[in-house]
Amino acid sequence: AQKVTQAQTEISVVEKEDVTLDCVYETRDTTYYLFWYKQPPSGELVFLIRRNSFDEQNEISGRYSWNFQKSTSSFNFTITASQVVDSAVYFCALSEARGGADGLTFGKGTHLIIQP
Amino acid sequence: GAGVSQSPSNKVTEKGKDVELRCDPISGHTALYWYRQRLGQGLEFLIYFQGNSAPDKSGLPSDRFSAERTGESVSTLTIQRTQQEDSAVYLCASSSSGLSYNEQFFGPGTRLTVL
């Protein structure tokens, strides 16, 4: 069965520091999709990125970047020059090729605290 | 609004009572999902609808949980004879189809507290 592990329960950094959130996944499928969602204090999950298993190119979006490595089954998320507004719980999630019927498998989340 | 909406936002109930949670997906989205988020935990997948049908109900925690969807729109999650362990935030999401690569759009959730 699929599994997503976010080993870092909580990370606290000072504003402007770079921070990396780790995500390790397990799946038997060769086709799958990985996601990152942000859950700010308001509670509503916000989609950040989707990556399919055939595309190992890293992606950068402003201060956010993602490093996907199939060899280590990892999909890590880095925030550069962190800001207080980045404080939230971040979830990594996996979807297998069976489609939405299984929903998303989420990690337990990493609570990121950016101190001013 | 254009997003997923859920009601009520908060529900406090006594153990043993039934509760009904409602989800209004984004208009035109054929796929709808229910998740449960216990305090400090990740999201636990409960059930998925494609149109009005749910192909697999095995994710529901017990037979006290049921869900339905009508008109390819609104969905209700019903919990009968609530227990304290049912206390959680129940999140609904919708997507344009049930394909695994589709982004799921989440609602704000219903916080259920069972006393």
B51 pLDDT band (50/70/90 cuts)? Answer: confident
Q: Which residues of chain A have pLDDT under 70?
A: 97-102
Residues 46-85 of A with CB under 8 A from B: 47, 50, 52
Which residue bears the tokens 């499928």?
Answer: A29
Question: Which residue in the set B31, B42, B106 is minimally distant from A107, CB to CB?
Answer: B42
| Residues in CB range of B1: below 8 A, 6 or more apart | none
Contact A89/A20 with Cβ under 8 angstroms?
A: no
Q: Pull the structure tokens for residue B107.
A: 């609602």
| Residues of chain B neighbouring A8 (CB-CB closer than 8 A) | none
Mean pLDDT (whole number) for B93-106: 84
What is the rounded CA–CA span in Å between residue A71 and residue A25? 11
Residue B107 CB neighbour total at 10 angstroms: 24
pLDDT at B113: 97
| Residues of chain A neighbouring B42 (CB-CB closer than 8 A) | 4, 6, 91, 106-109
A110 DSSP β-pair partners? A90
Residue B90 pLDDT > 70: yes
B42 pLDDT band (50/70/90 cuts)? Answer: confident
Radius of gyration of chain A (CA): 14
B48 to chain A, any CB pair closer than 8 A? The answer is: yes
pLDDT at B1: 53
DSSP state of A25: E
A103 to chain B, any CB pair closer than 8 A? The answer is: yes
| Residues of chain A neighbouring B109 (CB-CB closer than 8 A) | 43-44
